[in-house]
Amino acid sequence: MNDMTNPATTAAAAPYKMRAGEVSVFYGPKQALNAVSIDIGREDVTAFIGPSGCGKSTFLRCLNRMNDTIPGARVEGRIELDGEDIYASGMDVVQLRARVGMVFQKPNPFPKSIYENIAYGPRIHGLARTKAEMDVIVERSLRRAGLWDEVKDRLADSGTALSGGQQQRLCIARAIAVDPEVILMDEPCSALDPIATAKIEELIDELRGRYAIVIVTHNMQQAARVSQKTAFFHLGTLVEYGDTSDIFTNPRETRTKDYITGRYG
Amino acid sequence: MTSAAATPPAGPTRRPTDWASAEMRARIRRRYRSERLFRLVGLAALVLAASFLAFLLFTIGRNGLTGFERTEVKVTVAFDPAVLNLRPEQLTGPGAEAALGAADFQTVLANGVTNSLGPDGEGMISEGAWLTLRDMLAKRPDLLGMQADVWVPATSVVDQLAKGRLDRAGRTVSADLLLRYDSLERRKLLRTGWNTAFLSVADSTDPELAGVWGALKGSLLTLAVTLSICFPVGVLAAIYLEEYAPRNRWTDIIEVSINNLAAVPSIIFGLLGLAVFLNFMNLPRSAPIVGGLTLALMTMPVIVIAGRVAIKAVPPSIRDGALAVGASPVQVVFHHVLPLALPGILTGTIIGMSRALGETAPLLLIGMRAFVADVPAGVTQPATVLPVQIYLWSDEVARGFVEKTSAAIIVLLMVLLLMNGLAIYLRNKFERRW
Ligand SMILES: Nc1ncnc2c1ncn2[C@@H]1O[C@H](COP(=O)(O)OP(=O)(O)O)[C@@H](O)[C@H]1O
Ligand SMILES: [Mg+2]
């Protein structure tokens, strides 16, 4: 294959990993998201903030087409991953979800061993040919998720026996294991204590640059600490999107200012 | 009222709760009383249920345990080739069975009885006793031309006398017979022991020769047919309905139909089986294949319902987690949902199979109530099943069938116990898979 004409190679030069244009989402007759356009930077951590029910999760789930599993959900508009329309008929959803990983609000490890939790994704995608290769993937993923030292002696134990924070890092490791390009995190710390939260934030910082990361959070300080870009959603619309430093110090919209100063939300 | 305006919210003042008041104490007493009462009522219910069960088991045990024993008479028999009409070389090779079948064992036995028991032997030996001689010679061809002591089954009346189940003063036993019986007893020519035949042969018109193995094997064959059809179909239907089917009017109708089907009386499934499998598809009558198919119709809704409940109980977050690492819907089902739902599905399946094992009515309609004297060799052979066998025996007039009926019930309960034990074992095994 000629590298010069490979769309992936040419796209790699573009600054944006994902681009959403005029995305609207309906749950049955109810519109949950109204014409949202956002570009997700290749090496950025992008934070989505906004009051509950404003459509942050809905939008996040559009990015890896998890909304497909909700009966009655309908997505309009265009979302691209490296210039490719992910809602095009030729797009394979299974591969898309391997490329765009997701971490959920409540840690949801599989009720299997820690090893199996990590190995499952690579196995179904055929990423390891031998047990030795799989071992390497498992160790690397757990190391990147900062969990290796805590679990290396108990890989055969159930993933559900870990603490909440460890479970969430296990879920991050599980997402990393299939070598995604984008990681979506939907309030990954909302069920965790402050110490576990700090660990996840540290982890996000370490993963930055290697993956495009999108994180939904209710915690303003967290958004300010971990992200480079911030998007503020309100009532299904994108109110403001820009550099995190600008949003927090010098918001253009009063609604943004009211929200980040705690006037409502 | 200026001071009142300054105090926070106006309104009816609230007295502090007096936890020690008489009213409170009465309330606490009432609460304790109702809790004691509830515990007592619960315990009473448990005791009642347990005593019913104990009564059932006791009666069945008292009636049935002797059904596993039979009384035999010792006869000295001469395997005379001339009387038998057999030559030694006929007893080996492929023709042996036919030669044994044609041989005259009745006369040999009658001679033996006359010679060794004398007049005492009259009316003591079961009509089918010569079969014992045939089986013996088949196993030991060298006995031809020799004399041997053989324990052959006694008649049912002797059997019942030996077990003390007949009133010696009653009208069923003649005084002559009693005299002969006591004489044999004195001569130590009677013994009562474990009846191997009961668990290895099929039905017979004579209680002392009847066995339960034919019905047991018929039940097992029928259940095998039922399981092999209704488990895969039921589980796949449950998966489809839970994981794939769109929620619309059609699936609502299907759901209601399945729930209703589970409540339809079993005899109706019997009629359906009669119409479809026998009259329309012309499958063999009285055969386990038809019984199994009919019971599969009956059990399927149970498995579908149990399967759906078990699948619904798998947390959606597990599905999300698997989808998010790029599992396809089929992989989500077979790698995650099904293994987690399996304990529940298995429990439901075994409950359904236990019900099928005890089912009688639909099988009567498709002809499995016939008298079958041979152990069925396959699913298309005529057969009966345990509950039907119990029903048939309980209807027999001969005294000896009373204990056989209870013995068959014990066998049925054992099989049920085994199946439920298996269910518990499987459930625990799959729940502790990691
Ligand atoms: N599965 C669903 N079916 C119907 N409505 C939904 C569903 N999920 C979310 N919604 C609605 O969409 C809106 C946005 O929800 P969500 O994206 O979860 O908000 P957020 O994550 O910002 O709190 C809410 O009004 C919510 O009620
Ligand atoms: Mg949300």
- Residues from chain B that touch A124, judged by Cβ atoms under 8 A, are 325-327, 331, 335
Q: Do B320 and A120 touch (CB under 8 A)?
A: no
Same domain for B223 and B155:
no
Using a 6 Å cutoff on CB, does residue A27 contact ligand 1?
yes
* B231 in any annotated domain: yes
Mean pLDDT score of chain A: 90
A34: phi then psi, degrees, rounded to nearest 5: -125, 105
Q: What is the DSSP letter of A28?
A: T
Cα(A39) to ligand 2 centroid in Å equals 20
- Residues from chain B that touch A66, judged by Cβ atoms under 8 A, are 320, 323-324
Best mutation site among A54, A190, A233 for ligand 1 pocket (most ligand atoms within 8 Å of CB):
A54
Task: Supply the angle between the helices B249-263 and B288-312 in degrees, to the nearest 10.
Answer: 120
3-state SS, residue B327 = coil
**How close, in Å, is residue B217 to chain A by CA atoms?**
40
Ordered alpha helix ranges (H), B265-399: 266-273, 288-312, 316-324, 329-331, 338-357, 361-365, 386-394
Same domain for B402 and B343:
yes
Same domain for B128 and B92:
yes
Same domain for B220 and B347:
yes
User: Facing residues of B150 across strands?
Assistant: B75
The answer to whether A101 faces chain B, any CB pair under 8 Å, is yes
* B206 in any annotated domain: no
Same domain for B274 and B366:
yes
Ligand 1 atom nearest to A61, measured from its CA: 17
Q: Is B282 left (phi over 0), alpha (psi -120 to 50) or beta?
A: left
Closest CA to A159 of A214, A188, A120: A120
Smallest CA–CA distance from A104 into chain B, residue: B321
Q: Residue A212 and residue A207: Cα distance in Å, rounded?
A: 9
Q: Do B325 and A69 touch (CB under 8 A)?
A: no
Give ion ligand 2 contacts, CB < 5 A: A 57
* B425 in any annotated domain: yes
* B41 in any annotated domain: no
Domains: count for chain B: 2
Q: Report which protein residue has its CA nearest ligand 1's atom 5.
A: A27
Q: Residue A18 and residue A83: Cα distance in Å, rounded?
A: 8
A73-77, A153-157, A190-194, A209-213: least confidently modelled range: A190-194
The stretch A242-246 carries a mean pLDDT of 93
The total of other beta-carbon atoms located within 10 Å of residue A242's CB is 15
A110: phi then psi, degrees, rounded to nearest 5: -70, 145
Our CA dihedral for A118, A123, A129, A133, rounded to 10 degrees, sits at 0
Cα(A183) to ligand 2 centroid in Å equals 16
Instruction: Give pLDDT tens digits for B365-397.
Output: 888 888 888 889 889 898 999 999 999 999 988
* B208 in any annotated domain: no
> What is the pLDDT, as a whole number, of residue B250?
92
Domain that holds residue B421: 213-431
Same domain for B233 and B185:
no
Does this model's pTM top 0.90? no
The answer to whether B315 faces chain A, any CB pair under 8 Å, is yes
Q: Domains of chain A by range and CATH?
A: 42-58+93-260 (3.40.50.300)
Pairing of strands A73-81, A84-85: antiparallel
Same domain for B418 and B324:
yes
The answer to whether A137 faces chain B, any CB pair under 8 Å, is no
**How close, in Å, is residue B318 to chain A by CA atoms?**
6
Instruction: Point out the domain boundary residue: B139, B163, B194.
Output: B194
Same domain for B162 and B220:
no
* B236 in any annotated domain: yes
Same domain for B401 and B258:
yes
Mean pLDDT by 10 residues, chain B (434 residues): 50 80 92 96 97 94 89 88 82 81 86 84 84 86 86 89 83 82 87 88 87 93 95 95 89 91 91 93 92 94 94 93 94 94 90 91 88 88 92 88 92 92 85 58
Same domain for B364 and B224:
yes
Same domain for B178 and B224:
no
> What is the pLDDT, as a whole number, of residue A5?
42
Q: Report which protein residue has its CA nearest ligand 1's atom 11.
A: A32
> What is the pLDDT, as a whole number, of residue B9?
58
Q: Residue B401 and residue B399: Cα distance in Å, rounded?
A: 5
Q: Residue A169 and residue A23: Cα distance in Å, rounded?
A: 31
Instruction: Point out the domain boundary residue: B139, B164, B194.
Output: B194
* B4 in any annotated domain: no
Smallest CA–CA distance from B244 into chain A, residue: A69
- Residues from chain A that touch B327, judged by Cβ atoms under 8 A, are 94, 120-121, 124
> What is the pLDDT, as a whole number, of residue A13?
57
Closest CA to A191 of A72, A90, A109: A109
Whether the CB-CB separation of A131 and A154 falls below 8 Å is answered with no
* B315 in any annotated domain: yes
> What is the pLDDT, as a whole number, of residue B257?
92
ipTM for the predicted complex: 0.90
Same domain for B306 and B334:
yes
Residue A198 has which token pair? 């700090």
Give the strands of the sheet with A84-85, arranged side by side. Answer: A30-41, A16-27, A73-81, A84-85
> What is the pLDDT, as a whole number, of residue B434?
46
| pLDDT exceeds cutoff 80 at A48 | yes
Instruction: Point out the domain boundary residue: B194, B228, B258.
Output: B194
Q: Report which protein residue has its CA nearest ligand 1's atom 3.
A: A27
Instruction: Give pLDDT tens digits for A6-29.
Output: 444 444 557 899 999 999 999 999
Ordered alpha helix ranges (H), chain A: 7-13, 56-63, 93-99, 114-124, 131-144, 148-151, 164-177, 194-207, 220-226, 244-249, 254-260
> What is the pLDDT, as a whole number, of residue B8?
56
* CATH code for the domain in which residue B295 is found: 1.10.3720.10
Q: List all residues 6 or more positions away from B286 whose beta carbon is below 8 Å from its beta carbon.
A: B366, B367, B368, B370, B372, B382, B383, B384
